[in-house]
Amino acid sequence: MDIYGHPREIRLDERRLSEGLGVSRTPIREAMTLLEQEGFVRTRPRRGIFVVRKTKREIVEMITVMAALESMAARLAAARAAPPDWAELHRLMDDFRNGNGGERLAEYSDANVAFHQAIIKMSGCALLSEMTGNLFIHMRAIRKITIHQDNRAARSVVDHMRIIEALERREAELAERLAREHTLGLAAHVEEHGDFLDTTNSEANP
């Protein structure tokens, strides 16, 4: 769900979810309880269940935390990853290296998130995967919006290729620095251009 691509807050309907997923309402309610405990939805008496969208400040903080986790993952991946892992990273980026990422932004947005998830997996650290799992739900949505802005797709591909090169050379410190700078670049972009986020949250967080 593109939770940041809607001008209004998103209400979840138990009946429609039950029918759409082909399950009874009991597992839907159990899932909603869990999602509320994890901070992804909020129940409002007599109004329903609504998706929680982060404020601009919260998103910048979240991206900053991701930068720390992803940079450590890159450092570990430089030592632990094998040629098949690098080949997978190349596969994700090769279709977009000729500058056509801008013409296929939806596809690149998915490849972009897959690239970051692959780095986390390549670290070989299960706890890093666990800690970033919930963050990726919001990160995916934010990256999907910002990839359309300020020629970020083309610059993202260049950053990714530099990270791959550092990993292939097993330059751990360089891979760590490049991964950190890449993700902090997103934080800076949101800080400068993300005022729309607080606008979309104005109704969700009165």
Instruction: State CA 28 to chain mean position distance.
Output: 25
| pLDDT tens, position by position, 80-132 | 999 999 999 999 998 887 655 555 777 888 899 999 999 999 999 999 999 99
Least confident stretch, 12-21, 32-41, 102-111, 186-195: 102-111
- What is the structure's pLDDT at 188? 93
| pLDDT(202) > 50 | no
| pLDDT tens, position by position, 111-125 | 999 999 999 999 999
Mean per-residue pLDDT for 138-146?
82
Task: Report which secondary-structure segment, H or E, holds 62.
Answer: helix 56-80
Nearest CA to 17 among 41, 37, 38? 41
- What is the structure's pLDDT at 1? 55
How many residues are listed for the chain in this entry?
Answer: 206
Strands (E), the chain: 11-12, 41-44, 48-51
Instruction: Look over the chain and give the mean of its residue pLDDT values, rounded to a whole number.
Output: 86
pLDDT tier at 71, thresholds 50, 70, 90: very high
- What is the structure's pLDDT at 7? 59
Tokens of 77: 């991946």
- What is the structure's pLDDT at 203? 42
Contact 198/78 with Cβ under 8 angstroms?
A: no
- Taking CA atoms, 60 is separated from 17, 57, 156, 193, in Å, by 31, 5, 18, 11
Tokens of 76: 């570990």
DSSP reduced 3-state for 23: coil
Domains of the chain and CATH, by start:
11-52 (1.10.10.10), 56-194 (1.20.120.530)
Rounded CA-CA distance 56/199 in Å is 9
- What is the structure's pLDDT at 99? 56
Contact 37/87 with Cβ under 8 angstroms?
A: no
